[in-house]
Amino acid sequence: AIQLTQSPSSLSASVGDRVTITCRASQGISSALAWYQQKPGKAPKLLIYDASSLESGVPSRFSGSGSGTDFTLTISSLQPEDFASYYCQQFNFYPLTFGGGTKIEIK
Amino acid sequence: QEQLVQSGAEVKRPGASVKVSCKASGYTFTSYYIHWMRQAPGQGLEWMGKINPSVGSINYSEKFQGRVTMSRDTSTSTVHMELSSLRSEDTAVYFCARVPQRAAVVFDIWGQGTLVTVSS
């Protein structure tokens, strides 16, 4: 199975900060990567698919990039509602797999 | 409003089975695959399998093969996931999620989650 390694596993940031999370795949997955946001006690919410396509209704401060094995999720200016956990997911191979998550906390 | 609504929390003994349901509404049930994931406390997400509600075809993760059964009822727009031979490590929130009509196998609508607790 494809392993997805996210870094960092957690970070502290302030409102207005630019934040970047990385996701590395154990083998090439083309652009078959998605990003989700999850708040405590809630289901994940799709943010980005195909590595860089913004899901409808998601604010433009979220962006994704990368292909092959290395991917990034960037939040250009962190807002109070962005403090949450973020997960990457690959869909190039079955079984579908997710990264271990990155928790963004308030500094 | 397109949504998936799951059944309520369950507490089970080790060795028992649990069946979680996921009812779709607000869209054409047979037009979208449904997948199941789970999330152990404080952990990440784990994919379990998928079902095509139109024809009932199913694919399971090898990890759960032999212990998981997915089914659908088109008359009630509901999919079910049954996990047998439960052990403490199966304690988790179980999610159903819909794949939108595009090439990417990603999940645009999720159920609210069902907590399954396995404890003696």
In this prediction, residue B19 has a pLDDT band, given cuts at 50, 70 and 90, of very high
A38-58 pLDDT per residue, tens: 999 999 999 999 999 999 999
**How far away is chain A from the Cα of B44, in angstroms, using its nearest Cα?**
5
Start-to-end CA span in chain B (Å): 40
Does the beta-carbon distance from A89 to B108 stay under 8 Å? Answer: no
A12-42 pLDDT per residue, tens: 999 999 999 999 999 999 999 999 999 999 9
Task: Please determine, for residue B44, whether its predicted confidence score (pLDDT) is greater than 90.
Answer: yes
**What pLDDT, on the 0 to 100 scale, is given for residue A11?**
97
Does the beta-carbon distance from B46 to A98 stay under 8 Å? Answer: yes
Does the beta-carbon distance from B107 to A99 stay under 8 Å? Answer: no
Residue with tokens 């003696």: B120
Q: How many contiguous H segments (helices) and E segments (strands) does chain A have?
A: 0, 11
In this prediction, residue B101 has a pLDDT band, given cuts at 50, 70 and 90, of confident
Q: Is A97 helix (H, G, I), strand (E, B) or coil?
A: strand
Q: Are strands A10-13 and A102-106 parallel, antiparallel or unpaired?
A: parallel
Task: Please determine, for residue A75, whether its predicted confidence score (pLDDT) is greater than 90.
Answer: yes
Q: Is A95 helix (H, G, I), strand (E, B) or coil?
A: coil
- Nearest-by-CA chain A residue for B43: A100
Q: Are B5 and B113 in contact (CB under 8 A)?
A: no
Task: Please determine, for residue B103, whether its predicted confidence score (pLDDT) is greater than 90.
Answer: no
A81-107 pLDDT per residue, tens: 999 999 999 999 999 999 999 999 988
